[in-house]
A and B are shown apart, each in its own frame.
Chain A
């Protein structure tokens, strides 16, 4: 399967606050498995990340290898973060740069 475009979906802090974690995980799984790149305006709590990875790994096959997570700032002390979660497959090579206030994402799709 060759993807010719990649959908990037932005999930705001407010959206994350309004929904239950279980619903968020379910939504993220559905979107990622379909190939979307998810940009979260916040970091997911560690237990949620763990649950998300466990759920996602159920879908691993020869075309879909799982996910990669990238966090914009690399420090434990900084509160503002942007997390990008994207499907790890044959097509996507993704990088995020800048700061949580002003950032860019480069996606290479061969």
Chain B
């Protein structure tokens, strides 16, 4: 065991970089906002109904969390929503002009590429999925595959359980042997449990 690890074990202070990944509109920024508002008193990202609102990686450092007898110093990385395609016309349905929509699509494309390159840089990942939809798709499978190959521990946060049409049970069934925690990033339900699970993952 190295000196750093011995010191960390003695003080039970652990620094962890958490990547928050997922599809567009899954609620990643809402979750990050809930955590940071609770622990450092401020929200970090804007949330609107327009897809690809988060188009740059946002890194929030020094989020101190006491959990399970450990003091965690979290760096939370909120990543742009993952997508395999970006159709600028979709933004025009939200009232953006054609030029604005094209520009947003360009920024969103860069954001997706940034997010895809972020897998290697995190210690633990939260995969946020929308539990009102069927998230068993190529994006989430690719995401899980990438994390498993890199041996990066992850938790699937089945978000939006505050909604009547949420089906967290179906999400657990779909990802049967994967760690799934139903949460509501909006109301905060089970978010503490999610943090506890992260704490367990990092030993």
- In the assembled complex, A71 has its CB within 8 A of some CB on chain B: yes
User: Which chain A residues border B149 with CB–CB below 8 Å?
Assistant: 45-47
Complex Cα distance A74/B105, Å? Answer: 30
Do A68 and B85 touch across chains, with their CB atoms under 8 A apart?
Answer: yes
Do B116 and A54 touch across chains, with their CB atoms under 8 A apart?
Answer: yes
User: Which chain B residues border A74 with CB–CB below 8 Å?
Assistant: 136
Complex Cα distance A57/B110, Å? Answer: 8
- In the assembled complex, A67 has its CB within 8 A of some CB on chain B: yes
Do B142 and A50 touch across chains, with their CB atoms under 8 A apart?
Answer: yes
Among A46, A66, A76, max chain B CB count under 10 A is at A46
Do B84 and A53 touch across chains, with their CB atoms under 8 A apart?
Answer: yes
Q: Say yes or no: A69-B146 contact (C-beta < 8 A), given A50-B116, A53-B116.
A: no
Annotate B129-147 by CB proximity to A: 1 below 8 A, 0 otherwise: 0000000101001111110
Partner of B86, one of A45, A47, A65: A65
| B127-175 at interface with A (beta carbon < 8 Å) | 136, 138, 141-146, 148-149
Q: Say yes or no: A65-B146 contact (C-beta < 8 A), given A57-B113, A60-B105, A71-B141.
A: no
Complex Cα distance A88/B105, Å? Answer: 14
- The chain A residue with its CB closest to the CB of B82 is A53
Report the minimal beta-carbon distance from B86 to chain A, rounded to whole angstroms.
6
Complex Cα distance A60/B104, Å? Answer: 12
Complex Cα distance A66/B84, Å? Answer: 6
Report the minimal beta-carbon distance from B150 to chain A, rounded to whole angstroms.
9
Among A53, A67, A74, max chain B CB count under 10 A is at A53
| A54-96 at interface with B (beta carbon < 8 Å) | 54, 56-57, 60, 62, 65-71, 74, 76, 88
Q: Say yes or no: A62-B113 contact (C-beta < 8 A), given A47-B146, A53-B84, A88-B85.
A: no
Among B87, B142, B146, B148, max chain A CB count under 10 A is at B142
Do B138 and A65 touch across chains, with their CB atoms under 8 A apart?
Answer: no
- The chain B residue with its CB closest to the CB of A88 is B85
Complex Cα distance A69/B119, Å? Answer: 20
Report the minimal beta-carbon distance from A70 to chain B, rounded to whole angstroms.
7
User: Which chain B residues border A62 with CB–CB below 8 Å?
Assistant: 88, 102
Do B145 and A60 touch across chains, with their CB atoms under 8 A apart?
Answer: no
A sample of 16 cross-chain residue pairs with beta-carbon separation below 8 angstroms, ordered by A number, consists of A45-B145, A46-B148, A47-B146, A49-B145, A53-B116, A53-B142, A60-B109, A62-B102, A65-B85, A65-B87, A66-B83, A66-B84, A66-B109, A69-B138, A70-B138, A88-B85
